[in-house]
Chains A and B, each alone.
Chain A
Amino acid sequence: MKKANVAINKDLCKKCTICVHFCPRKVFRIDQDGYPIISHPEKCTGCRLCFLHCPDFALEVEEELDD
């Protein structure tokens, strides 16, 4: 199975939390300041739905091959 790395840029994030709610694998959770953080990186399949939904260019998804 493919694995992917999600990178969140906090300087661009406006805490709309769309990525947290629309992730089909529930990879994200909201931290105490309201920003999304990645709580389950192993669940990510690299579908890029969070990247496509993010209105503020704050998310990048990089795929990497599983060993």
Chain B
Amino acid sequence: MPLADYKQYVAMDRLPSIWCPGCGNGTALKALALALAELEIPPDKTLLANGIGCSGRVGDYVRCHRFHGTHGRTLAFVTGIKLVRPEIKAVCFLGDGDCAAIGMSHFVHSARRNVDIATIVVNNFNYGMTGGQFSPLSPHNAITSTSSSGKPEPDIDICKLADVAGANYVSRTTIYHVTEMKNYIKEALGKKGFSFVEIISPCPTYYARYNKLGNIIQQLEWLKDKFIPIEKYNQMEDAEKENFFWRGRLTDRNLPDLLSAYTLGSRG
């Protein structure tokens, strides 16, 4: 039964993890392990690459190949790994600061090149490991340790950016929607080309405390109430949209990925 097989990807002897009680990184790792087990991708053909930050610790708890890149540069390293070892199933497990601030340019160009990488971004709306500073993905007016009266800058929709940059698969879900999260990761892993899943995660230690979102149960309820299906979101009035976020599949297409475009070449 696939459910039992997920443990072959997880280093159970290195647990408990470093993450705070209720942190979504562990839930996302479990969803990834379950998706890998259901697709029967062997651990010796799987590469889990991660950057720096809370989500960067995920590599300590896996049994497949792992790569710990420098801050934000993980996608650039994995592009190189994919060119040399195209048979490897590459998964990049990044945080919101790692992907959208420090590694923004690598992210946009990996999507533009359509490299065959499944990218999972665990977005907890702040830099959790360094004390809760705001990231480019923190919502407008969010209270963090570097914006005590509300974040003055607008945020960026990283999913829409991945879409216009040329990614083959883009979706967004939350830690509350566990089955949907596993299914989206499974779809991303099965897609040839750049696939991207943004997972909104609670940060019980910093973001939730500063923004008075309550305990971990109330934070998960907040995710459940605020993140509505994209079809419903698109029908809303603009004023109403400001109170909600969307989740769902944004992009699903089959453009040729970097390696197949490279092999075929423009010469025909």
* Chain A residue total in the interface (Cβ 8 A): 18
What distance in Å separates the Cβ of A18 from its nearest Cβ neighbour in chain B? 6
CA distance A21 to B217 in the complex (A): 7
* B17 interfacial contact with A, CB 8 Å: yes
Q: A52-B178, A57-B30 are in contact. Are A14 and B220 (CB under 8 A)?
A: no
> Contacts A12-B16, A21-B217; is A56 near B178 (CB within 8 Å)?
no
* With known contacts A49-B178, A55-B25, A14–B216 Cβ distance under 8 A: no
Q: Is the CB–CB distance between B220 and A18 below 8 Å?
A: yes
Residue with the greatest number of chain A CB neighbours at <10 A, chosen from B12, B16, B182: B16
Contact of B179 among A18, A52, A57 (CB under 8 A): A52
Q: Judge whether B27 is part of the interface by a CB distance below 8 angstroms.
A: yes
In angstroms, Cα B3 to Cα A42, docked, is 22
B109 to chain A, nearest CB (A): 32
On whether the beta carbons of A16 and B16 are closer than 8 Å, the reply is no
Cα distance A66–B66 in the bound complex, in angstroms: 42
How far is B14's CA from A11's CA once the two chains are assembled, in angstroms? Answer: 12
A56-B16 contact given A14-B21, A16-B22, A18-B22, CB 8 Å threshold: yes
Q: Which residues of A contact B25 (CB under 8 A)?
A: 55
Contact (A57, B21) CB under 8 Å given A22-B220, A52-B179: no
Instruction: Decide: B30 and A16 in contact? CB cutoff 8 A.
Output: no
> A56–B15 contact, CB under 8 A?
yes
Q: Does A45 contact B (CB under 8 A)?
A: no
Tell me which of A12, A14, A22, A49 has the highest count of chain B C-beta atoms within 10 A of its own C-beta: A14
- A55 and B27 contacting across the interface, CB-CB below 8 Å: yes
* Chain A proximity mask over B19-35: 1 for CB below 8 Å, otherwise 0: 11111111100110000
CB distance from B33 to the nearest CB of A (A): 9
Of chain A, the residue at the smallest CB distance from B204 is A16
Please give, as numbers and ranges, the residues of chain A lying within 8 Å of B162 by CB-CB distance: none
Residues of A contacting B22 in the complex (Cβ-Cβ under 8 angstroms): 14, 16, 18, 55
Specify which chain B residues have a CB less than 8 angstroms from the CB of A49 in the assembled complex: 178
A15 interfacial contact with B, CB 8 Å:
yes
A53 within 8 A of B: yes
Contacts known (A18-B216, A18-B220); A12 close to B178, Cβ less than 8 A: no
Indicate if the CB atoms of A14 and B16 lie closer than 8 Å.
yes
- Separation of A22 and B219 alpha carbons in the complex (Å): 13
Q: Is A5 an interface residue (CB 8 A)?
A: no
Residues of chain B having any CB pair with chain A under 8 Å: 3, 10, 12, 15-17, 19-27, 30-31, 178-179, 182, 216-217, 220
Q: A22-B217, A58-B16 are in contact. List 5 more A-B contacts (CB 8 A).
A: A17-B216, A21-B217, A52-B179, A54-B26, A57-B26
Chain A residues with a Cβ under 8 A of chain B: 11-12, 14-18, 21-22, 48-49, 52-58
Query: What are 9 A-B residue pairs whose CB atoms fall within 8 Å in the complex?
Result: A11-B16, A14-B21, A22-B217, A52-B31, A55-B21, A55-B22, A55-B24, A56-B15, A57-B26
